[in-house]
């Protein structure tokens, strides 16, 4: 199925994968202004020459610049033509599903106040129902695509409690690339042992992909079971230590700028 000018982001839980389509909004700056203000070419040129066009608060002289609708704020004569998207950083609690709607369980989007929840708000990626930690929610489908596409290799770090002794051999196996049942091989991952004994271990794991139940399956392939899992990072984003479970906040300007740099 071909979907033109749209981004497909797959969301779901319990192995149910459903596509969500977001219309892309990236286009040339002069086209954005033309569509919003119905200007002539002569008027367009004058706006740029008089330095009346700003992108993210800075004067922009290149009318052919491609505008990224993920993050940019466009102003002409002080009028905002393209509002910013919303970006929420959520500390996901256990028992809540990473989905927009679910017939049985409360969803992560329902943790966002209705007053702050746009109609097209979606979680970027997914965490299992019993997994906690950092989750990004946005109405920006293009950013979701950048974070989730297979070749993006976005780092994601988890803290995990394992029901067995994690060894140096496990560290080496993860660095080689764990192979699942059926011959599916993961990319090399960085495993750091924090504490370890015969009954349980605490580890940090950084992966660069997002296969279904990946962290749990990686440890199962080593004969071990994950009993607690928390995501700490995703790309440049970090789970704030002062953000309580179930709470959320908008991304800061610093975090938004980090995302811009990350995907240049």
Alpha-carbon torsion 211, 215, 218, 220, what sign? negative
Query: Is the fold of 6-23+86-151+237-262 the same as that of 155-234?
Result: yes
Inform me whether the pLDDT recorded for 132 exceeds 90: yes
Q: Residue 4 has what pLDDT?
A: 38
Question: Any idea where the domains of the chain sit in the sequence?
Answer: 6-23+86-151+237-262, 27-67, 155-234
Interacting residues of 6 by C-beta distance below 8 A, sequence separation 6+: 21, 22, 23, 24, 141
pLDDT of residue 68: 67
Fold held by 6-23+86-151+237-262: Alpha-Beta Plaits (3.30.70)
Share of the chain above pLDDT 90, in %: 56
pTM of the model: 0.73
**The pLDDT of residue 12:** 37
For domain 155-234, the CATH class is: alpha beta
Identify whether the C-beta of residue 40 lies closer than 8 Å to the C-beta of residue 58: no
Catalytically active residues, by annotation: 128
Q: What is the CA radius of gyration of the chain?
A: 22
Q: Can you give the pLDDT at residue 259? A: 83
Q: What pLDDT was estimated at residue 88?
A: 96
Round to whole Å and give the CA distance between 120 and 91.
20
Q: Say whether pLDDT at 5 is over 60.
A: no
């Amino acid at each position: 199925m071909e979907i033109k000018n749209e981004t497909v982001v797959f969301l779901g839980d319990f192995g149910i994968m459903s596509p969500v389509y977001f219309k892309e909004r990236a286009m040339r700056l002069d086209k954005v202004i033309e569509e919003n203000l119905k200007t002539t070419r002569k008027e367009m040129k004058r706006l740029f020459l008089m330095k009346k066009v700003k992108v993210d608060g800075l004067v922009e002289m290149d009318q052919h610049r491609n505008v990224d609708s993920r993050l940019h704020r466009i102003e002409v004569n002080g009028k905002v033509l393209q509002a910013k998207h919303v970006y929420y950083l959520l500390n996901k609690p256990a028992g809540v599903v990473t989905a927009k709607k679910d017939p049985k369980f409360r969803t992560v989007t329902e943790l966002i106040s209705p007053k702050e929840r746009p109609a097209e708000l979606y979680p970027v990626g997914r965490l299992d129902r019993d997994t906690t930690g950092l989750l990004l929610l946005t109405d920006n489908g293009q950013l979701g695509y950048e974070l989730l596409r297979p070749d993006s290799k976005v780092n994601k770090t988890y803290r995990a409690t394992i029901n067995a002794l994690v060894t140096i051999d496990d560290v080496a196996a993860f660095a080689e690339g764990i192979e699942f049942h059926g011959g599916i091989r993961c990319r090399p991952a960085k495993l750091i042992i924090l504490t370890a004994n015969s009954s349980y271990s605490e580890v940090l794991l950084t992966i660069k992909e997002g296969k279904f139940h990946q962290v749990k399956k990686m440890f199962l392939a080593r004969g071990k079971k994950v009993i607690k899992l928390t995501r700490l990072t995703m790309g440049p984003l970090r789970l704030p230590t002062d953000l309580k479970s179930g709470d959320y906040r908008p991304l800061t300007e610093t975090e938004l700028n980090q995302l811009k740099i990350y995907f240049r």
